[in-house]
Amino acid sequence: MGYRIGKSFSFDAAHFLSTLPSGHKCSRLHGHTYTVTVELVSLALAPPGFVTDFGDLAPFAAYLDEQMDHRLLNDALDAEPTSELLARHMGEWFIAHVEPGLGASLSAVTVAESPTSWARWEVER
């Protein structure tokens, strides 16, 4: 057991899924307002009683703003920009660039491309 927090970020971007049949609507260029939620866990709290200060997640917000916001996601990833693969990509980036400065561990990343559709990548430790 332990403590769990989440923080959501949003950005707007376009993509298309080129491996789908040409008649599939997602094979055409289209955009979404994405919501990305990171979940962090910790067995203990840091003063004054945080899993981590939400301000410590600013490098992830900056990464999304610089690399994903108002971009063609097909250019940002080396794979099809599905929500599932976006979640894994963002999670791996977070673990490599943000997590080392935290007293908490990333447990999951959820990417929602609409209010009713989302994908989740869970970290295996």
Which residues are part of the catalytic machinery?
26, 70, 113
Q: How many CB atoms lie within 10 A of CB 25?
A: 9
Q: Are 99 and 105 in contact (CB under 8 A)?
A: yes
How far is Cα 11 from Cα 64, in angstroms, rounded to an integer? 7
How far is Cα 79 from Cα 4, in angstroms, rounded to an integer? 30
How far is Cα 117 from Cα 115, in angstroms, rounded to an integer? 6
